[in-house]
Amino acid sequence: MGDDSKSRRTVLKGVGAASAAGLTTSLAGCVSQNGESDVDGAENLGDEVPEIHFVAPTAGANPFRNELADIVADNWEDLGFDVDLEELEFNAHVDQVVVQQDFDASLLGWGGTPERIDPHTFIFDMHHSSTTGEGGRNTPGWESDEYDELAELQVTQVDEDERQQTVYEAQEMIAEAQPRTYIANEGGYEPYASSRITDINPTLGEGLNSFWNLTSVTPTDDDTVRFGYPSEIISLNPMQDLATPDRQFVRLLYDQLYRIGEDGMPTPWLATDDPVIEDDGMTYTVEIRDGHTFHDGEPVTVDDVEFTYNLYADSPTYSSLVEDIEEIETSGNEITFHLAEEYAPFVANVLGQVYIFPEHVWGDVAPEELVDYEDEDWIGSGPFEFVDWERQAELQLSAFDDHFEAPNADNLIRVPGADTAQLVNDLEAGQLDMVGAVPQPTAVNRVREDDDLDLSEFEAIGYAMIEYNTRREPFGDRHVRRALSYGVPKEEYVEFIRDGMGTVTHSTISEHNEFWHNPDVEEFYEDLDAARQELADGGYGWDDDGRLHYGEDQ
Amino acid sequence: MGLRAYVVRRCLQLVVTFWAFFTLLFVLFRMMPGDPTSMFIMDGMTPEQREQRIAELGLNEPLHVQYIEYVRQLLTGDFGQSFIYNDPVTSIIAVRFMNTIVLMATALIFAYIIGITFGALMGWWRDSRFERGGIVVTLVARSSPEFWVGIVLLSVFVFWLGWFPSSGMRTTGGELGGGFVARYGSLDFLRHLFLPALTGAIAYLATPTLLMRSTMLDVLNADFIEIKKAEGLPERTVLYKHAARNSILPIVTVAAIATGTAMGGSVVIETVFNWPGMGREMVSAVNNNDYPLAMAAFFLMGSVVIIMNFVADLAYVYLDPRVEYE
């Protein structure tokens, strides 16, 4: 760690002192230095604890987390670790950490799209021992039989209250073991032109990018809403690998049986009502809405729905999404799914994810051609119709007036920007009506002062986190992970580095995900004394230079 | 050596240069960390989906097999499919390349016309106020970063005066696509072109101005200028017909190379004005590990540099008969 980061730290501390209220406890810990601590470690020392290879984003990839990484590395060095901080661009970072698993500690974010409001992703995918492989979600490689039982149990619990209890217990166990430091849910401010649009509806995890916002936003000066986002859509083909920004527009063109509602719970969409669940959660029967049509006027029938689910099963990219469905039956306007095994998140994660296709358009496409198939008009049955698209310039959609939830804007134009700063320029110049991204604090302040513009705040369910590679020593030891977690200044990160945007978290489930969040998990604020105590309890000790060693017996 | 032998030898050199160039490109991109699936992993791509995708793209083949396939494609003029967009690279690049050419050609033409004229006059009126002021202005233009110039122009012409749009190539919501004239011929397009082109012109202006001035000073010291003056020719004739024409040679080389690099687009200008050109496409292709698209973009840009150098060599011989082929 160079002097540079120390001096920035000093500045941050200064800011902290100036407006100290509410932060004193967390900042108190960072004052103590090597050797000043009262904590005595093991008396007889073994080898030095190996250097921590800490992978973090570059300032270009994520300025906030880059700043945080410097401070964390400083704190860890204060605790007696040697830290080798490596800064990487996003793709290289993901590849090295998530795929190659070549790291000791890694600072990354995990996104919170609406389909992740159901706790399955955060509880099962990210922490179950079956997902520790290359590219798997359990990047820390953390394994616990006791935990696996809970993660597997919640999948089978169709009763929400019972499932909630299991999810609560799982969160407690994760918090105690700290395979990751759960740092903050990174909500923020997104700018829009209050003088030109109204009825914005930023929802949990997505802000202005949310489905509910894009259908409710109403232009007041003309009939068009212009939406800016800092990158281009890759494809509108729902059968391709889609990134989050793609999905956010694909779902405007295509409907699902259920949509994740504004409150995060699946609500009937093409379905008329909640599904009838029988056989202890092994059978789901859904009635399809009558009289709805695709954009080309053809009716949406139960046959289209059945066709779609079979198409997904044949698709090389998405077959895993519907792999739990063993058999499909239709009768009149009803479709029945028989599952191979119980799957509690079935409505949210399957019925809410599969886009219904028109059989008369997709019927002749072979499974291996699905990914490359270009339906020029992208005919779906969603609230918006495709008009035209020129890459890197604009995507034009228009309202599908025959939809049962027709949008308020007649036209929606999506403009891919060069970066967020440039999009804010466009917003100020009147060329855009809203921006689906969080600008830098200076731009946020400019927007605040502009009478034509306003900020919309949203909360996130995804989070910034530090993952520990438990496959390697000493990170397999929970004392070490817990000590390192005490070295992360979560409040400082939200208050000063992120300028107040977001909320501190201690659990894998965000406090904004109210039903599933357990508010009573063990909390880890920055506290270097507690960290030393944790290391001493684990049997570690310090030499005269303050360097951390294994105890002799370890 | 005769002209023909010279051209033949330069052509052979060209082939070797190209081979080294695209091989280097291949190696460089394969050494880059990450792969085209990296950007999807955090969005929920499972390990099975990832392996499936890698196999589809042929990235699980040994490197030499991939290299041979790449060369084979290149020789048939096929840049392959973009890994990310799943579209042919040629169709993606064609539009971007055209957008960049229109922007950069406009900027370069203005920069060189203005630069050569002012440079010649600055040399002619040596030690005048005009020359001293001109040098200051040129140096300021040269040392101003492009993004700063762009933001200043935006503040003045967009936020303050409101005369021009802040970004893009045309007003949103209109008819998309269309032919060359529909795209680049409209008044709307010219309004969008003005500020980014001006930013580019300011950035490129200094080199031709200063170069022209200093070669002018050399030429003006030559005897034949005195003789022309003594012959009683009007000052304008001496300036334009004799002094300026003889000073223009080095400008040709510089212009050729500048054209080459300009065709790669200016990432900075394209970012400030959200211009859908090559520069940004190259950056995003590299960030996404979209090897076919990135390599094609670099190949195209590098090719323009290589070929423009070649053209400059030949042009020298044509412009100045004293230059010999060796």
pLDDT tens-digit map of A275-312: 999 888 899 999 999 999 999 999 999 999 999 999 99
Hey, which residues 183-242 in chain A have their CB within 8 Å of chain B? 224, 226, 231-232, 234-235, 237, 240-242
Beta bridge partners of A108: A465
User: A418-455 burial by CB neighbour count: b if 16+ within 10 A, else e?
Assistant: bbbbbbbbbbbbbbbbbbbbbbebebbebbeebeebbe
Quickly state the pLDDT bin for B261 (edges 50, 70, 90).
confident
Contact B47 A109 (CB under 8 A): no
Mean of pLDDT over chain A: 88
Nearest chain B residue to A97 by CA: give it: B34
Whether the per-residue pLDDT at B121 is higher than 50: the answer is yes
Tokens 């993952």 sit at which residue? A467
- The whole-model pTM stands at 0.83
The distance between the two most distant Cα atoms of chain A, rounded to a whole number of Å, is 80
Query: CB count, 10 Å around CB of B8?
Result: 11
Contact B176 A394 (CB under 8 A): yes
**Predicted confidence (pLDDT) per residue in A433-471, tens digit:** 999 998 888 888 899 999 999 999 998 989 999 999 999
- Give the pair of three-digit tokens for residue A176: 């105690």
Amino acid at A80: G
Task: Report chain A's terminal Cα–Cα distance, integer Å.
Answer: 29
Percent of chain A that is helix, strand, coil (3-state, to 5): 35, 20, 45
Domain spans in chain B, listed from the N-terminal domain onward? 3-76, 89-319
- Nearest Cα of chain A lies from the Cα of B127 at a distance, in angstroms, of 43
Beta bridge partners of A549: A48, A541
Residue B279 makes CB contacts below 8 A (sequence gap 6+) with B100, B264, B265, B266, B267, B268, B269, B270, B271
Interface check A500 vs B, CB under 8 A? no
Contact A320 B49 (CB under 8 A): yes
- How far is residue A523 CA from its own chain's centroid? 21
With the C-alpha atoms ordered B177, B180, B184, B185, is the resulting torsion angle positive or negative?
negative
Strands A411-416 and A434-435, by their bridges, are unpaired
Higher local confidence (pLDDT), B191 or B80:
B191
In chain A, residues with a C-beta closer than 8 Å to the C-beta of B280 are 392, 418
Whether the per-residue pLDDT at B310 is higher than 60: the answer is yes
Contact B176 A371 (CB under 8 A): no
CA angle A39, A83, A94 (to 5 degrees): 130
Fold (topology level) of B89-319 = MetI-like fold (1.10.3720)
Strands A224-229 and A411-416, by their bridges, are parallel
Q: From residue B81, give the alpha-carbon distance in Å to each of A224, A442, B14, B60.
A: 35, 40, 27, 17
For residues A441 and A419, what is the distance between their CA atoms, to the nearest angstrom? 15
Range among B36-40, B73-77, B132-136 with highest mean pLDDT value: B132-136
For residues A398 and B59, what is the distance between their CA atoms, to the nearest angstrom? 39
pLDDT score, position B264: 65
- Nearest Cα of chain A lies from the Cα of B85 at a distance, in angstroms, of 6
Residue pair B297/B265 in contact (Cβ under 8 Å)? The answer is no
In chain A, residues with a C-beta closer than 8 Å to the C-beta of B53 are 241, 317
Mean of pLDDT over chain B: 84
Contact B281 A417 (CB under 8 A): no
pLDDT score, position A254: 96
pLDDT score, position B109: 92
In chain B, residues with a C-beta closer than 8 Å to the C-beta of A91 are 33-35, 38-39, 287-289
Tokens 């520790």 sit at which residue? A132
The secondary element (H helix, E strand) that includes residue B118 is helix B89-124
Whether the per-residue pLDDT at A14 is higher than 60: the answer is no
pLDDT score, position A242: 80
In chain B, residues with a C-beta closer than 8 Å to the C-beta of A422 are 167, 271-274
- Nearest Cα of chain B lies from the Cα of A437 at a distance, in angstroms, of 16
Whether the per-residue pLDDT at B1 is higher than 70: the answer is no
Cβ-Cβ contacts under 8 Å between A and B: the total is: 147
Contact B38 A317 (CB under 8 A): no
Average pLDDT value for residue range A408-436: 93
In chain A, residues with a C-beta closer than 8 Å to the C-beta of B288 are 91
Whether the per-residue pLDDT at B93 is higher than 90: the answer is no
Nearest alpha-carbon partner for B283 in B302, B306, B262, B264: B264
Tokens 């809970």 sit at which residue? A150
Of the listed ranges A15-24, B28-37, B63-72, the least confidently predicted one is A15-24
For residues A124 and B261, what is the distance between their CA atoms, to the nearest angstrom? 51
Mapping DSSP onto H, E and C, the string for A319-379 reads: HHHHCCEEEEEEECCEEEEEECCCCCCHHHHHHCCCCCCCHHHHCCCCHHHCCCCCCCCCC
- Give the pair of three-digit tokens for residue B6: 């010279």
Percent of chain B that is helix, strand, coil (3-state, to 5): 75, 0, 25
Nearest chain B residue to A94 by CA: give it: B38
Higher local confidence (pLDDT), A370 or A254:
A254
DSSP string of A451-511, one letter each residue? TT-EEEEE--SSEEEEEE-TTSTTTTSHHHHHHHHTT--HHHIIIIISTT-SEE-SSSS-T
Whether the per-residue pLDDT at A3 is higher than 70: the answer is no
* Structure ipTM: 0.82
Contact B48 A89 (CB under 8 A): no
For residues A469 and A138, what is the distance between their CA atoms, to the nearest angstrom? 10
For residues B40 and A537, what is the distance between their CA atoms, to the nearest angstrom? 41
Contact B168 A242 (CB under 8 A): no
The secondary element (H helix, E strand) that includes residue B245 is helix B245-247
In chain B, residues with a C-beta closer than 8 Å to the C-beta of A241 are 37, 40, 45, 49, 53
pLDDT score, position B265: 64
Contact A426 B166 (CB under 8 A): yes
pLDDT score, position B273: 93
Query: CB count, 10 Å around CB of B131?
Result: 17
**Predicted confidence (pLDDT) per residue in B145-165, tens digit:** 888 989 999 999 998 998 999
